[in-house]
Amino acid sequence: MSAVWTASRNAVRRRRLQTFVIFLVVLVCTVTALLSLALLDASRSPFQRAFEGQRGAHAVVTYDPARVTGAQLVAAGSGVQAAAGPFGQVIVEPEKGTGPFFSRPMTVVGRADPGGPVDRVDLWSGRWPQTRGEIVLNVPPQPAAEFRLGPLGRATELVTPDGALRVVGHAFTVSGSADGWVTPEQVAALKPTGTQMLYRFTGDVSTRAALDARLAGVTTGLPGDALLAAQPYLVMKEKAAATPGVYLPFLGTFGLLGLLVTVIIVGNVVGGAVISGYRHIGVLKALGFTPRQVVAVYLTMVSVPAVAGTVLGTGLGLLAVRPVLSDTFRGLGFGEQSGVRAWVIVSVLVGVPALVLIAALLPARRAHRLPAAQAISAGSAPRRGRALRVQRALSGSRLPRAVSLGLGIPFARPARTALTMASLLLGVVTVTFALGLSDSVTRIDEVGSRSSGEIGVRPYQGDQHPVTGRSDTEIERMLRDLPGAARVGVGVARELSVAGQSEPMQINFVRGDIPEMGYEDQLYEGHWMTSDDQLVLPTQLLNERGLRIGDRVTASLDGRWTTFTVVGETIRGLPGPEGAFATWRDFPQLGPQAYFYQVQTAEGTDLAGYVAAVRAADPGLDAWDNTGGDAFGTMVAAFSALLALLLATVAALGVLNTVALDVSDRRRDLGMLKSIGMTPRQVVTMMITSMAALGLAAAAIGIPLGLGAHRLVLPLSADAAKIRLPEYVMQVWDPATLVLLVFSGVAIAVVGALLPARRAARLTIAQVLHNE
């Protein structure tokens, strides 16, 4: 074995560039594979991960405190793996005027701390309530800076009929066990109407029927009417599945692309390294190495840089993946779950070296069978000219000779060219897809942020703040006059009874610049209202109500039946509960508090400054920054860019390897060309042309494929989220972008080829030509 080790060590030393290339390729591929696998894992079961992380409750159960005591509940533990509670629970009705976000009844639970055996609440900002009068609100984690600027971040108290509760922190439960938490003493003072128990069950909990059976086991023996309500975790899981769906297919596609490119490039680089060493293999055999020892030498030779690259790559990958995963989970609304699961790490640590070994083993086995004399003559005996016809055609062309010679090089080694082409192709497809995805996500974001108006304004209604003295038109004028305002929209929301429907429908009567603020761009069917008897509905509302474009809706408006026609379908409605759009009507009976305003500012405007200006101009107005709501979209775009960059780097490394091998194979030819007067620049031109041609071909094939992938994956992801995308979001391609993409294919090839091409230009001719 020592002879094998000595030969391997020498081979590693002698082939420093190739060893370095293998190390680098394996390193970058490991980072890519780790990132891809971690994201694939995250995208497959984000809810489950968050749920397990918090030891989520399989069932959140509310009992009637009048029917059952806490002691009875604690004693009833049949089939229960872990339980938390009893906790006092009360529904509080926030006072009107404490902002649009406290407009609904809230479930408030008394808990002494956020931990426990079940439902370990993620307290991500502030502290847990310690005394009466304090509350922690249930809010998914958000970046601190963005959260502080948003309306919830600035809500300091919740006013209830029983008094005000000071907000001392924000926490998140994936089990959905409460909207807010107070101390047990506080909840007792609020006169709890329920007792909450949180259960984790043993056995099967995968279906509603199974959960019902588990729950029946617990409640057996309790008074029959003690159970008020039970919320199985499957409800939260289904709810969660609809929200992040829009992004998951993107992440999955990128993960798969990353793994595919990794396999191809590693195969290309490692296989090439072994093939280029055939002559050395012959020498080893002539020295007396057995075929098995020769294979061992080559496997050891590639294993040294491969293991080093894998270990370092895993370390770097873990560092890189932490913030990405953290942002992903935060974006998915599941809090911070930045840990990479063990199976991902083990898969990468074992899988990448295994891939390298397999890639090396295939050509090494051929070397195993190769007679020594044949192996030794490899590369030195004249080869039968390949692609002679191509070369002849090129030599007769008007192109500079260095260019035409370079164009012919890929035809000399078709198998190597095919592998290089495959990696370039994947690089171009990835860059194209990433660019399209990033632009589309940006457009979705743009539509979202434009339509939410950047700045939201609403008059205060409660006792805590002064009441504005301005009318709605005066407020609108004031907002328009403040420096930085570009567009101002005004709306008034009315809940109207609809003929033939059991639930009222919210209709937002709007005026001003609402259509220009992005809502009209979001239309993917129909048109914006042109008269006051028309409605435009968001898809979700349209589906919920079973309506279609052209249908009529008869609503009771201030005591009179009014008929509207649905004329358009749009992605999103105004912030808050989904409502239809209708053109403005005057409602003289409503006070200024009924109106809300959206402001879009001119580019470069300081949003915080504008918000401050609104509050200074009229202390009776509440104003908040609406931007940054879709940080996940930004993260997806950033992640797309990162992975595309990584894959492009890996593709460039594949090219670097190919050119390094070509230079090594063609040392004699290069020496000869230099001896008859080829300048160093012409040598570089020739070698770069050989790869630029492949880059161009890869662009010609890869760009349409990337465009196709974008056209296919985006609607699929929209389908997953049960939304439709307007054509505006898909039309991200323009001639300049396409030219940029062609350039990217060529650039990947040129960047990869540059280093070995320059090395070729510096080749010492005398040594090459005389040492045959």
Partner 1 sequence: MTEKSTVVRLDGVRKEYGDTVALDDVTLEIRAGEAVAVMGPSGCGKSTLLNMIAGLDRPTAGEITVHGQRLDTMNETRLALFRRHHLGMIFQFFNLLDDLSALDNVALAAQLTGSSAGTARRRALELFGELGITDRRDAHPAALSGGERQRVAVARALMNRPALLLADEPTGALDSRAGEQVMDLLLDLNQIGQTLLIVTHDERLAHRCASRLIELADGRIARESALERL
Binding site for partner 1 (CB under 8 A): 382-388, 391-392, 395-398, 401-402, 405, 408, 411-412, 668-669, 671-682, 761, 764-766, 769-770, 772
Between CA 600 and CA 607 the distance in angstroms is 10
Shortest Cβ 424–partner 1 spacing (Å): 22
Compare residues 416 and 458 and give the one whose CB is closer to partner 1: 416
Shortest Cβ 676–partner 1 spacing (Å): 5
Q: How many CA atoms, within 13 angstroms, populate the side-chain half-sphere of residue 765?
A: 14
Compare residues 672 and 705 and give the one whose CB is closer to partner 1: 672
Q: How many CA atoms, within 13 angstroms, populate the side-chain half-sphere of residue 747?
A: 11
- Per-residue DSSP letter, 384: P
Shortest Cβ 675–partner 1 spacing (Å): 5
Between CA 566 and CA 555 the distance in angstroms is 13
CB-based burial label for 419 (10 Å; 0-12, 13-18, 19+): buried
Shortest Cβ 279–partner 1 spacing (Å): 16
Compare residues 401 and 759 and give the one whose CB is closer to partner 1: 401
Shortest Cβ 15–partner 1 spacing (Å): 22
How crowded is residue 326: how many other Cβ atoms within 10 Å of its Cβ? 17
Shortest Cβ 432–partner 1 spacing (Å): 33
Residue with tokens 């009014």: 562
Please state the φ and ψ torsions of residue 563, each to the nearest 5 degrees.
Answer: -100, 130
Compare residues 288 and 382 and give the one whose CB is closer to partner 1: 382
DSSP string, 524-592: -EE----STTEEEEEHHHHHHTT--TT-EEEEEETTEEEEEEEEEEES--SSSS--EEEE----TTS-G
Shortest Cβ 708–partner 1 spacing (Å): 36
How crowded is residue 104: how many other Cβ atoms within 10 Å of its Cβ? 9
Q: What H or E segment, with its residue span, contains residue 385? A: none
Between CA 225 and CA 232 the distance in angstroms is 19
| Token pair recorded at residue 89 | 């629970």
Please state the φ and ψ torsions of residue 484, each to the nearest 5 degrees.
Answer: 105, -15
Shortest Cβ 749–partner 1 spacing (Å): 20
Shortest Cβ 381–partner 1 spacing (Å): 8
Q: Please check whether residue 379 is in contact with residue 668, taking contact to mean a CB–CB distance below 8 angstroms.
A: no
Shortest Cβ 25–partner 1 spacing (Å): 28
**Cα dihedral 746/748/753/755 (nearest 10):** 130
- Per-residue DSSP letter, 381: S
Shortest Cβ 683–partner 1 spacing (Å): 9
Residue 62: which residues within 8 A CB-CB, separation 6 or more? 89, 194, 195, 196, 227, 228, 229, 230
Strands, E, within 284-422: which ranges? none
Compare residues 380 and 471 and give the one whose CB is closer to partner 1: 380
Between CA 675 and CA 663 the distance in angstroms is 16
Q: Please check whether residue 346 is in contact with residue 358, taking contact to mean a CB–CB distance below 8 angstroms.
A: no
Q: Please check whether residue 190 is in contact with residue 108, taking contact to mean a CB–CB distance below 8 angstroms.
A: yes
Of 430, 442, 447, which is closest to residue 707 (Cα–Cα)?
430
Compare residues 173 and 404 and give the one whose CB is closer to partner 1: 404
Compare residues 41 and 662 and give the one whose CB is closer to partner 1: 662
Strands, E, within 602-700: which ranges? 621-625
| Token pair recorded at residue 227 | 């159970």
| Token pair recorded at residue 309 | 């690259």
Residue 248: which residues within 8 A CB-CB, separation 6 or more? 43, 717, 720
Compare residues 141 and 671 and give the one whose CB is closer to partner 1: 671
Peptide bond into 117 cis (omega under 30): no
Q: Please check whether residue 30 is in contact with residue 350, taking contact to mean a CB–CB distance below 8 angstroms.
A: no
Shortest Cβ 759–partner 1 spacing (Å): 14
Shortest Cβ 754–partner 1 spacing (Å): 17
Q: Please check whether residue 453 is in contact with residue 489, taking contact to mean a CB–CB distance below 8 angstroms.
A: yes
Q: Per DSSP, what are the bridge partners of residue 91? A: 107
Compare residues 391 and 440 and give the one whose CB is closer to partner 1: 391
Shortest Cβ 762–partner 1 spacing (Å): 8
| Token pair recorded at residue 369 | 């069978």
Residue with tokens 């630029």: 692
Shortest Cβ 411–partner 1 spacing (Å): 8
Compare residues 395 and 737 and give the one whose CB is closer to partner 1: 395
Please state the φ and ψ torsions of residue 163, each to the nearest 5 degrees.
Answer: 125, 175
Shortest Cβ 272–partner 1 spacing (Å): 19
Compare residues 400 and 504 and give the one whose CB is closer to partner 1: 400
